[in-house]
């Protein structure tokens, strides 16, 4: 219901922050029985819940091409990232400078790998870091950046990691459902997933382990998830994750159509405001994301105007406390603080239509016209 209401009243273009629940997920949750559902209970209710969890494990495993035994459910990507980094505490760790805060703040001592002006991790910088000092124990890289949508060269980084016997951790929270993932082919050691980025519930996700990898233990005090993640399983969240994973996998073939909408949005924005800057546009990007800035118009002002026009987008930067800070990703790409504080992220999803993009453009033009009549310098 919420997703449908949202759709008719306003245009939601903030899928990278959180995607709406898929209709199939909503239907499954609406039919959720009030029965108790502790999968560790031996009675019939418990066994049913266990069956649901294991079905979902197989569905999530299929999304990323692993055996279900390699999937460990948890509360989401933040927990998965913290879990991996806590297992490498005290060891040499390299992380890209554009990682999510759940990597950067969980390992403040980790050495930062710079990125190119287009937002791609700098492979030669990794080589230099590897040659300097003791070999790193772990390298962390997100597969797709949440702000720019830039797809990182994970296979090249895997080669570098293998050369120095470092483990490789890939945060795939923004890659799942957007590009095909075959963890078997990739051969990484750890992979992070988040359910609400693919149309499941927030507060649910998984850490996927490479084959032969022992699970790092983060929460202790129970035998759940093979003793690797204590706490009664979030069965509705896990089931929703499984349904969403199935649909995300089925939708992969048609996901690329979003790049047509994205490219049309970018060229039409450019026609209205030739001063616009796009970020990561020359790099390989996922189909759904556009990060742009109108120099002189701060994200906060633009977001308020667009929201008044019924269009939900984001600044693409750290805004967890309601305070918009200039994007650390853009700063790492060498973008000035002034321009970074003007960033606007448009992120579409599986049910975004051409009409949504038209409505975005109408709102965008209304905003820029209004600001022009007020004498805004930059528009």
Q: Which is nearer to ligand PMP, 235 or 371 (CB)?
A: 235
Taking the C-alpha atoms of residue 239 and residue 248, their distance in angstroms, rounded to an integer, is 14
Q: Which of 20, 136, 149, 205 binds ligand PMP (CB under 6 A)?
A: 205
| 59 interacts with ligand PMP by CB under 6 A | no
Among 20, 39, 76, 216, binds ligand PMP (CB under 6 A): 76
The angle formed by the CA atoms of residues 361, 329 and 127, to the nearest 5 degrees, is: 135
Q: How far is the CB of 81 from ligand PMP (least distance, A)?
A: 6
Point out the residues that are catalytic: 319
Taking CB under 6 A as the binding criterion, the range among 33-41, 169-177, 228-236, 296-304 that sits at the site for ligand PMP is 169-177
Which stretch, 123-131, 170-178, 213-221, 343-351, contacts ligand PMP (CB under 6 A)?
A: 170-178
Is 14 a binding residue for ligand PMP by CB under 6 A? The answer is: no
Long-range contact set of residues 25-34: C-beta below 8 Å, sequence gap at least 24? 25/199, 25/200, 25/201, 25/240, 25/243, 25/244, 25/247, 26/1, 28/239, 28/240, 28/243, 29/201, 29/236, 29/239, 29/240, 32/236
- Which of 22, 50, 100, 345 binds ligand PMP (CB under 6 A)? It is 100
Residues that bind ligand PMP (rule: CB under 6 A) add up to a total of 12
Quickly count: other Cβ atoms within 10 Å of residue 282's Cβ: 13
Give one word for 94, left, alpha or beta, with left for phi > 0 and alpha for psi -120 to 50: beta
Output b/e per residue, 142-172; b: 16+ Cβ within 10 A. bbbbbbbbbbbbbeebbebbeebebbbbbbb
Task: Please identify the residue of the shown chain whose CB is closest to the bound ligand PMP.
Answer: 76
**CA distances, 134 to each of 104, 156, 297, 308, 328 (Å):** 21, 21, 46, 54, 28
Per CB under 6 A, does 78 bind ligand PMP?
yes
Question: Measured from the CB of residue 192, what is the shortest distance to ligand PMP in angstroms?
Answer: 6
Question: What's the min distance (Å) between Cβ of 145 and ligand PMP?
Answer: 7
In whole angstroms, the minimum distance from the beta carbon of 193 to ligand PMP comes to: 8
Residue closer to ligand PMP, measured from CB, 11 or 173: 173
Interface stretch with ligand PMP, choices 167-175, 239-247, 285-293, 371-379 (CB under 6 A)? 167-175
State which of residues 110, 170, 173, 208 lies at the interface with ligand PMP (CB under 6 A): 173
The residues in 330-349 that bind ligand PMP, with binding defined as CB under 6 A, are: none
315 lines the binding site for ligand PMP (CB under 6 A):
no
The number of residues in the chain equals 379
The stretch near ligand PMP (CB under 6 A) out of 61-69, 75-83, 153-161, 357-365 is 75-83
Q: Can you list the alpha helix ranges (DSSP code H) found in the chain?
A: 2-9, 23-30, 44-64, 77-87, 101-104, 123-131, 154-163, 183-186, 235-255, 258-272, 299-308, 328-332, 337-340, 354-373
Two tokens, residue 318? 């750290």
Residues forming contacts to ligand PMP in the complex (CB under 6 A) are: 76-78, 100, 102, 142, 146, 171, 173-174, 194, 205
């Amino acid at each position: 219901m919420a997703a449908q209401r949202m759709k008719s009243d306003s245009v939601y273009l903030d899928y990278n922050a959180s995607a709406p629940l898929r209709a199939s997920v909503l239907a499954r949750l609406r039919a959720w029985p009030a029965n108790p559902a502790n999968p560790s209970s031996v009675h019939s209710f418990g066994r049913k819940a266990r069956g649901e969890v294991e079905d979902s494990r197989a569905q999530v495993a299929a999304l990323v091409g692993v055996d279900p035994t390699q999937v460990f459910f948890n509360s989401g990507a933040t927990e998965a990232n913290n879990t991996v980094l806590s297992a490498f505490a005290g060891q040499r760790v390299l992380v890209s400078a554009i990682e999510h805060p759940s990597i950067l703040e969980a390992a403040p001592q980790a050495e930062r790998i710079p990125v190119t002006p287009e937002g791609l991790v700098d492979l030669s910088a990794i080589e230099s870091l590897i040659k300097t000092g003791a070999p790193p124990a772990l390298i962390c890289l997100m597969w797709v950046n949440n702000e720019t949508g830039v797809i990182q060269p994970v296979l090249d980084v895997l080669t570098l990691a293998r050369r120095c016997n470092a483990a490789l951790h890939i945060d795939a929270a923004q890659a799942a459902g957007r590009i095909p993932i075959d963890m078997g082919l990739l051969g990484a050691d750890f992979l992070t997933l988040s359910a609400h980025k693919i149309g499941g519930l927030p507060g649910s996700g998984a850490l996927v382990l490479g084959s032969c990898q022992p699970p790092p233990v983060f929460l202790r005090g129970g035998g759940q998830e093979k003793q690797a993640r204590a706490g009664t399983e979030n069965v509705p969240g896990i089931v929703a994750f499984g349904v969403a994973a199935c649909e995300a996998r089925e939708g992969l073939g048609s996901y690329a159509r979003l790049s047509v909408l994205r490219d049309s949005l970018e060229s039409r924005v450019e026609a209205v405001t030739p001063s616009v800057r796009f970020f990561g546009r020359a790099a390989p990007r996922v189909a759904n994301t556009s990060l742009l800035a109108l120099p002189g118009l701060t994200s906060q002002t633009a977001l308020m105007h667009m929201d008044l026009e019924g269009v939900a987008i984001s600044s693409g930067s750290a805004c967890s406390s309601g305070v918009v800070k200039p994007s650390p990703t853009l700063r790492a790409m060498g973008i000035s603080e002034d321009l970074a504080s003007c960033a606007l992220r448009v992120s579409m999803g599986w049910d975004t239509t051409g009409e949504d993009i038209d409505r975005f453009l109408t709102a965008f033009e209304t905003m820029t016209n209004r600001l022009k009549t007020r004498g805004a310098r930059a528009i």
